[in-house]
Amino acid sequence: MAGPCRGAGVSGVLRVLVADDQRVVREGLATLLGTVPGVEVLGLAADGQEAVALVAERKPDVVLMDLRMPGMDGVEATELIRRDHPDTRVVVLTTFADDTSVLTALGAGAVGYLTKDATRDDIRRAIEAAGAGQAVLDASARQTLLRAAAGRAPSSPEGHRALPDGLTDREAEVLGLIGQGRSNQEIAAELYVAEATVKTHVNRIFAKTGSRDRAQAAAYAHRHGLAR
């Protein structure tokens, strides 16, 4: 089995954080990773917000991230981690292999994408590759990228341009949909997230943009070119 990768910390150990809302899954992953030489599990997070806080506190090399979690989901957590802690890489480990999930996760900055039928060796390889700054995608994620390349790949200028008032990429996306008159339920369905997650984004958008209601937020979206 491969030894510690070049991306490991000064001790030669690759430090990993696990984020998953299901306790049995995150504890099972911690147990599995505990059997991999050269890997140390620094902590377990039950949602995206806890993952972001633990990354700031413990500075892991890699986060093994679920996508759909209550509160802050894995996509927004990935965006914030990559923005504020660029030395920490994110590998997504999720049940979902649909095109939207894959492209959204990679657009948020994940360097790896695996589904939960991945084997122990698949996870080990993905973590070690991420620690070395390399990308690892499972077969379904690779097929998604091939389909996107063969057709019209979704443009991502919003992910690379400065957004106003500290908005994250996901908040800008939600704000753009508000600008189209979408309800929280419709936004949740389009983005494949829980409605509670959308409500959290909307509250943050109101606070950041100084909007009192959806009409003001929609006007803000149009003024700043965020409404598609």
CB neighbours of residue 156 within 10 Å:
12
- Does residue 158 surpass a pLDDT of 50? no
Give pLDDT tens digits for 28-39: 999 999 999 999
pTM of the entire structure? Answer: 0.65
pLDDT at site 21 = 94
| Rg of the chain taking only CA atoms, in angstroms | 18
Give pLDDT tens digits for 91-108: 999 988 777 788 888 888
The residues spanned by each domain of the chain are: 14-149, 157-222
* Architecture, CATH, for domain 157-222: Orthogonal Bundle (1.10)
CATH superfamily, region 14-149: Response regulator (3.40.50.2300)
Please say whether the beta carbons of 39 and 12 come within 8 A: no
Mean pLDDT value across residues 187-210: 87
Phi and psi angles of residue 113, each rounded to the nearest 5 degrees, phi first: -145, 120
157-222 and 14-149 share a CATH fold: no
Which amino acid does the sequence have at 181? G
CA-CA distances (angstroms) from residue 156 to 8, 61, 113, 160, 204? 31, 26, 19, 7, 22
